[in-house]
Amino acid sequence: MESRIGELAALGTAICWTVTALSFESAGRRIGSLVVNIVRLVMAAALFALYGWVVRGMAIPLDLPRTAWVWLGLSGLVGFVIGDLFLFQAFVDIGARVSMLIYASVPPLTAILGLLVLDETLGVLGIAGMVLTVTGITIVVARRTSGAPAPQKGVRHMRTRGVLLAFGGALGQAGGLILGRLGAGRTFDAFAATQIRVLAAIVGFAVVFTLSRRWRTVGPALRDGGAMARVGLGAVFGPFLGVSLGLFAAQNSTAAIASTIMALVPVLIIAPAVVLFRERVTMREIAGAIVAVTGVAMLFW
What pLDDT band is residue 97 in, cutting at 50, 70 and 90? low
Residues whose CB falls within 8 Å of the CB of residue 230, separated by 6 or more in sequence, listed in order: 23, 24, 26, 27
**Looking at the 3D structure of the chain, how many domains does it have?**
1
| Euclidean distance between CA atoms 214 and 220, whole angstroms | 12
Q: What is the pLDDT of residues 117-133, one digit of tens each?
A: 999 888 888 889 999 99
For residue 90, what pLDDT is reported? 84
What number is the average pLDDT over the span 9-18?
92
Residues 68 and 61 sit within 8 Å (Cβ to Cβ): no
Three-class DSSP category at 214: coil
Q: What is the pLDDT of residues 232-272, one digit of tens each?
A: 998 999 999 999 999 999 999 999 999 999 988 888 888 88
H helices of 148-189, in order, are 156-184
Domain with 249, as residue range(s), is: 2-300
Whether this prediction's pTM lies above 0.75 is answered by yes
